[in-house]
Amino acid sequence: MLKGIPMETKKILLGITGSAAAFKGVMLASLLRKEGFEIDGVITPAALRFISETQLACVTGRPVYSSLFTTQPGDPVPHITLTDSIDLFAVVPATADFIGKSANGLADDLLSSAFLACEAPVIMAPSMNTRMWKNSATAANLETLACRGVMFAGPVMGPLACGSEGMGRLMEPVGILKLCLDVLSGRN
């Protein structure tokens, strides 16, 4: 048993989207692995501009997926197999684009397709500019997802990638880890 979490409950799918805070998704993967969880990683094409599959694979010790269309003959539908037996799906960071796609049922890449196929609890950690965060479309998308049971970690106030300061900064990985542990142990 791991901090009140049964050992059989230990598979997490971690999605990383294209944000300047993508490196914090890798940091969260490291923290989760230290807790004893098995982490499968999915990186969007935009996230590959900030981090590499190799970085995440080194931290998780597992293959990382970035394409909806796999060349692996044994797994022709990774968006289904990756979500088959997970206990938690975390998207860190979750951009406004990913949040919008998720709220509207769009599935044009591996991560958004996996989200639609997922039956496990979902945590999204938003990361975006303050103006994007305050936009009424973003607010409507967040409300839609919250009504469907998606939980949110942040965002928080602080310095943003554009040089300004405000709401929209990705919550620190330690805070996201705490929420993950709470969800997995049934405390949330």
d(CA 181, CA 176): 9
d(CA 78, CA 67): 9
Q: Which residues are annotated as catalytic?
A: 162
Q: How many CA atoms lie within 13 A of 53 on its CB side?
A: 11
Q: 15: closest CA among 43, 53, 54? A: 43
d(CA 178, CA 160): 23
Judge whether 90 and 12 are in contact, CB under 8 Å: yes
d(CA 144, CA 139): 9
